[in-house]
Amino acid sequence: MITVILDDMLHARRKTLTELAEEVGITLANLSILKTGKARAIRFSTLDAICAALDCQPGDILRYEPGARSGESAAAD
C-alpha cells in the first residue's frame, strides 16, 4: 500500500493542510483523501504541485507498506 506522509513535511515547512491545499490547487477534502490513504491514484501534476509547495522529493512524502492495496477502503465505499 502506498501512503502519503504529509505531516512531517508540513511541520518542517510550517504549513497547514489548508495552506497546502490552496497552494496545490486541490480541495482540502481531496488532500485529506490523499492523506488518509483513500485515494486510488494520484496524478503526476498533483504530486508535482505538492512537491513544489513543500520543496521536497516524491520519496519524502510517499511510502510503500506491504499489505492492503491503495484506495481499497475507498473502493469498498
Partner 1 sequence: MSRSYPASLPIAYVVLRLLIVANIALAVAIAALLLVLPHEAWILQSLDLEPGPKADRIIAGMRAIAVIGIVGCALNHLILKRLVRIVETVRQGDPFLPVNARRIHQIAWALLSLQLLGIGVAVIVRLINSKEHPIDIDSSASIAGWIAVLFAFILARVFAEGSAMRDDLRGTI
Rounded (10°) angle between helices 17-24 and 28-35? 110
Q: Does 53 bind partner 1 (CB under 8 A)?
A: no
The overall longest dimension of the chain from CA atoms, in Å, is 35
The least CB distance from residue 74 to partner 1, in Å, is 5
Contact with partner 1 (CB under 8 A): which of 41, 44, 66, 76? 41
User: Smallest gap, in angstroms, from Cβ of residue 68 to partner 1?
Assistant: 14
- The contacts of residue 44 (CB under 8 Å, 6+ apart) are none
Which residue matches cell numbers 499489505? 67
Of positions 17, 22, 46, 62, contacts partner 1 by CB under 8 A: 46
Site for partner 1 in 3-32 (CB under 8 A): 26, 30-31
